Amino acid sequence: MTTKRDYYEILGVQKGASVDDIKKAYRNLALKYHPDRVATDKKKEAEEKFKEISESYAVLSDSQKRSQYDQFGHAGIDSKYSSEDIFRNADFSSIFEDMGVGGDMFEEILGSFGMFGGSGRRRNRGAGRGRDLEYEIEISFEEAAFGTKKTINIPRQVTCDACNGSGAKPGTKKIECPTCNGRGQVLYSAGFINVSQTCPKCRGEGSAIKSPCSKCDGAGKVRNTQKIEVTIPAGVDTGSRLRVQGEGDSGARGGPSGDLYIYINVREHPIFQRHGYDIICEVPISFPLASLGGEVEVPTLTGNVMMRIPEGTQSDRIFRLSGKGVKNLRGYGMGDQMVKVVVETPARLNSEQKRLLKEFEKSCNGNVNPISASFMDKVKKLFKK
C-alpha cells in the first residue's frame, strides 16, 4: 500500500502556515500542474499531481479538517471523510479571481478525475448536486442512552411538481442555448490556461427556457417543508452528528439531492452525569448505614437497584455497577454506572439525640476514626523538630 505524503510537504508550507499562505502555495502549484498546461506525454502525471495538491488544499484550508489532520494525520481524515466530503465547501473561487477563473472550473476538472464522488466521467450536462442542510435537535438524557425516533420538519428545496423540474412552463419546450449553441460547454481562456468550461448561461444543459414555469419561476425547484422521521441511535451525545443521505435540497436538473446533517444536543439530567459511556450518580447515605453497612436503593437508567454498602464506608467512595451505563455508539457493549456515596451529617438534632451522640463519641475514645488518626500522625511528623 502506498503511503500518502504529508499535506504540508505537498504544498511546501510549514505546519503553522496561515490560510493565505496555503492559498498562495496552492495557486502556484495549480497553475504549474494544470493538465492543460503540460505536454501530452506528461498529462497523466500532471493529473495525479493536481489531485494531490488539490486534496491537500481542501483539507488544510478548512479549519475543522485541518485540526483533525494535525491531531490524527491521514487516518483522521480517511476515517471521517469520503473523497466527496473532503472537497465539499472547499473555496477554489477566491484563488484565481484576478485571472477571471471561477471555482466551478476547478470543481469540474476535479470532478472529471472522480474527486467529487463521481466515476471519473463528467457529470450529466446541467445536473448539479443539491445543497446539504443542517438541523439541530435537543433530546433527553434517556433518549441519548437508549436511542429514539424523532419526526422533524425540514424546509428544503424540492423538485417542482408542475414542470417536473424542467423549469419550463407546462406545454412548452426549451430552446437551444444561444451562448453555447446547445453544446453546454464554452472555450475559456485565462492566461496560459485553456479549458472547456460549463456554459455560464445554461449551466451545461445546452438549452434555455423561453417560457418559465409560473410555480417555480424557471428554477425547477420550490421551497417546501417536509416531515422526516429520523432514527437516533443509542449512545449519541452532545456534539454527535448524524447524516441522513438524500434529505437535503433537491439537485438541479436531475442531479442528486444533498444530505441532511443533524447535530445532537442532550439535555442535562437532574441525577446523572455522563463521562464517555459511563454515568456518575451521587447517592447520600446515613451515618449509621456508612458505619454499620447494609443496603441502599440506587437509581439507574433501567430502574432502581439495591447496592450493598460495606461496614465503615467513607464519604466520596465510588462503587461500580457494571453494564448500567450507556450503550456504546459503535455497538461494543455498555458503559458502567459509578455510584459516589456521600455520608450525610445529621442536622437539627434534639437534646436527647445530642446527648446520645456525645456519649457515643466518648465511648469511641478516638479508636474508630482511622482517617483522622492518620492525618494527625502526618501533621506531627511534618512539624517534628
- Domains of the chain (ranges; CATH) run 1-122 (1.10.287.110), 129-174+209-268 (2.60.260.20), 272-383 (2.60.260.20)
Name residues whose C-beta falls within 8 Å of residue 319's C-beta, 6 or more positions apart in sequence: 307, 338, 339, 341
Q: What percent of the chain has pLDDT over 90?
A: 41
- Can you read off the three cell numbers belonging to residue 257? 439531492
**Higher pLDDT pick, 185 / 149:** 149
Average pLDDT for residues 13-40, to the nearest whole number?
A: 84
pLDDT 10s digits, 231-283: 999 999 999 999 999 999 888 767 788 999 999 999 999 999 999 999 999 99
Structure letter (DSSP) for residue 54: H
Q: Are 277 and 334 in contact (CB under 8 A)?
A: yes
Residue 102: per-residue pLDDT:
47
Residue 179: per-residue pLDDT:
83
At 195, is the pLDDT very low, low, confident or very high (cuts 50, 70, 90)?
Answer: low
CA distance 59 to 133: 21
Residue 94: per-residue pLDDT:
64
Residue 206: per-residue pLDDT:
81
Q: Are 120 and 179 in contact (CB under 8 A)?
A: no
Q: Are 53 and 11 in contact (CB under 8 A)?
A: yes
Structure letter (DSSP) for residue 35: G
How would you list the strands of the sheet with 278-286, edge to edge? 272-275, 278-286, 337-344, 318-321
Name residues whose C-beta falls within 8 Å of residue 182's C-beta, 6 or more positions apart in sequence: 176, 206, 207
Q: What is the mean pLDDT of the chain?
A: 83
Q: Are 93 and 172 in contact (CB under 8 A)?
A: no
Residue where the block lists cell 467529487: 116
- Given a cut of 80, whether residue 184 has pLDDT beyond it is no
Q: Judging by beta carbons within 10 Å of its beta carbon (0-12, 13-18, 19+), is residue 29 exposed, middle or buried?
A: buried
Residue 75: per-residue pLDDT:
80
- Given a cut of 70, whether residue 139 has pLDDT beyond it is yes
Structure letter (DSSP) for residue 63: H
Q: Which amino acid is at 269?
A: H
Rg (CA), the chain: 33
CA distance 117 to 74: 19
Task: Report residue 202: phi and psi, to 5°.
Answer: -105, 0
Q: What percent of the chain has pLDDT over 70?
A: 82
- Given a cut of 70, whether residue 104 has pLDDT beyond it is no
Instruction: Please report the beta strands in 101-147, taking only residues with DSSP state E, as ranges in sequence order.
Output: 133-139
For residues 316, 322, 325, 330, the Cα torsion angle rounded to the nearest 10 degrees is 140
CA distance 317 to 299: 17
For 166, other C-beta atoms within 10 Å of its C-beta total 23
Q: Mean pLDDT: which of 51-65, 170-184, 259-273 is highest? A: 259-273
- Can you read off the three cell numbers belonging to residue 131? 445543497
Residue 380: per-residue pLDDT:
74
Q: Are 251 and 127 in contact (CB under 8 A)?
A: yes
- Given a cut of 60, whether residue 293 has pLDDT beyond it is yes
DSSP string, 337-371: EEEEEEEEPP-S--HHHHHHHHHHHHHHTT-S-HH
CA distance 296 to 242: 39
Task: Report residue 301: phi and psi, to 5°.
Answer: -65, -20
Residue 228: per-residue pLDDT:
93
Bridge partners of 345? none
Average pLDDT for residues 19-23, to the nearest whole number?
A: 90
- Given a cut of 90, whether residue 193 has pLDDT beyond it is no
Average pLDDT for residues 346-375, to the nearest whole number?
A: 82
- Can you read off the three cell numbers belonging to residue 207? 438549452
Residue 325: per-residue pLDDT:
95
At 124, is the pLDDT very low, low, confident or very high (cuts 50, 70, 90)?
Answer: very low
Task: Report residue 229: phi and psi, to 5°.
Answer: -90, 125
Name residues whose C-beta falls within 8 Å of residue 365's C-beta, 6 or more positions apart in sequence: none
* pTM for the whole structure: 0.58
Residue 54: per-residue pLDDT:
87
Residue where the block lists cell 499562505: 21
Average pLDDT for residues 122-140, to the nearest whole number?
A: 76
**Higher pLDDT pick, 210 / 279:** 279
- Given a cut of 50, whether residue 123 has pLDDT beyond it is no
Q: Are 55 and 46 in contact (CB under 8 A)?
A: no
Name residues whose C-beta falls within 8 Å of residue 351's C-beta, 6 or more positions apart in sequence: none
CA 199 to the chain's CA centroid: 35
